Amino acid sequence: MKRSLVMLATCFVLAAAGGCSIQGVGPASPSAPADAGIVVSGEGEARAKPDIAILRLGVEAHRPTMEEARTAAASAQARILQAAKAAGVAAADVQTEQLSMAPVYDYGEKGRTLRGYAATNIVRITMRDISKSGALVDATVAAGDNDARIDSISFEMSDTAAVRAEARRAAVEDAKKKAEQLAAELGVELGDVLAIEETAVSAPGPIMMRAEFTKDAATPIQPGSVETHVAVRVRWAIDAG
């Protein structure tokens, strides 16, 4: 009894220092501890082709007066929106992201001098037919000429459920292989799955790219593929046989 009290007191001291975890204190229980068994993590990835292109484009017109800048930007943007409509883009898939008009100054030793005014109009266009993305970029350049501005092009998936399921399946298979290897190394058999937890999911994010274009050639657009990642944590019982 005295030896048990000494050991318990020692463990309490270590626990206070963060170096001991007390388990199983109290009446014995026939059930296994909550963390018993073989616990592994598995990871899985899956790729799929995107079916949506997100274009951020528009105009940035620099003119001597604000009215000239505004008129130039509005006229060019109207032509761009008309080109988007002709490409089959619905009005709901067009959203203004930036609209600004501001003076532009040059700075020198004698202070600042007014150079003119800049009018910027940038829209976010969702292209549900990726094959027409390059043509819309070309139309933007044609409509805005030197005022055209292509901020970015990215690609996404409209439905990510299937690619997530594929990544999840791969993660579970990875966890199972690891658990089987551990069991074989220890000379035991895997029992039932006691718990499984999905610890991380990275949704297919947008693929960012820049379009290289010239006035003498159509703009090539390559959507590539999007990737999603799933991680799981699984605990198996050890089969006593």
Residue 204: the pLDDT is 58
Residue 99: the pLDDT is 96
Residue 202: the pLDDT is 81
Query: Any residues with CB less than 8 A from the CB of 145 and at least 6 apart, and which?
Result: 76
DSSP secondary structure letter of residue 155: E
Domain extents for the chain? 33-49+159-210+225-241, 52-156
Do residues 225 and 36 touch, judged by C-beta distance below 8 A? no
Topology of the domain comprising 33-49+159-210+225-241: Translation Initiation Factor IF3 (3.30.110)
For 7-16, 57-66, 100-109, 156-165, which range has the lowest pLDDT when averaged over its residues? 7-16
CA distance 241 to 137: 67
Q: 13 falls in which pLDDT band (50, 70, 90)?
A: very low
Averaged pLDDT for residues 156-178: 94
The string of pLDDT tens digits covering residues 143-165 is 888 999 999 999 999 888 999 99
The string of pLDDT tens digits covering residues 19-57 is 332 233 333 344 556 667 999 999 999 999 999 999 999
Show the tokens assigned to 155. Answer: 């690609």
pTM of the model as a whole: 0.65
CA distance 223 to 237: 45
CA distance 144 to 146: 6
CATH classification for the domain delimited by 52-156, as one of 1.20.1070.10, 3.40.50.300, 3.40.605.10, 3.30.70.2970: 3.30.70.2970
Q: 70 falls in which pLDDT band (50, 70, 90)?
A: very high
- CA distances for 143 relative to 8, 58, 60, 69, angstroms: 82, 9, 12, 15
Do residues 55 and 136 touch, judged by C-beta distance below 8 A? yes
Q: Do domains 33-49+159-210+225-241 and 52-156 have the same CATH topology?
A: no
Burial class (CB in 10 A: 0-12, 13-18, 19+), 233: middle
